[in-house]
Amino acid sequence: MDISPPSDEGIIARLAGMPDSSEANVKARVAHWNANVHHIEDAFKDKLFTVQADQPVDQVTEVITDVILNPIF
């Protein structure tokens, strides 16, 4: 946004962020997510695939693409 801001006002408004994104609010939302994500994982456990995201981007992309194109579920 500082180096090369978009010229479209609608895009700028969407990229500007949520007005309530204070550090405390973000921490509260992350805590809420962490407290509840297991419900999502349980509901979709037969559809989840774990990706080792500490690999180079091209390797992660290759794994994800392979899972999408060749599902084992």
Q: Is residue 4 part of a domain?
A: no
Find the mean pLDDT for residues 8-14. Answer: 87
Radius of gyration of the chain measured on its C-alpha atoms: 18
d(CA 23, CA 28): 9
pLDDT score for 33: 96
Q: Is residue 34 part of a domain?
A: yes
For 27, the token pair is: 């921490």
Which residues span the domain enclosing 30? 21-69
Q: Is residue 36 part of a domain?
A: yes
pLDDT score for 4: 86
Tens of pLDDT, residue by residue over 28-54, are 999 999 999 999 999 999 888 899 999
Global pTM value: 0.52
For 61, the token pair is: 């992309």
Q: Say which residue, 1 or 8, is predicted with more confidence.
A: 8
- For 16, other C-beta atoms within 10 Å of its C-beta total 10
Q: Is residue 64 part of a domain?
A: yes
Flag whether pLDDT at 22 surpasses 80. Answer: yes
Q: Is residue 30 part of a domain?
A: yes
Dihedral Cα 39, 25, 18, 1, nearest 10 deg: -110
Specify the number of domains making up the chain: 1
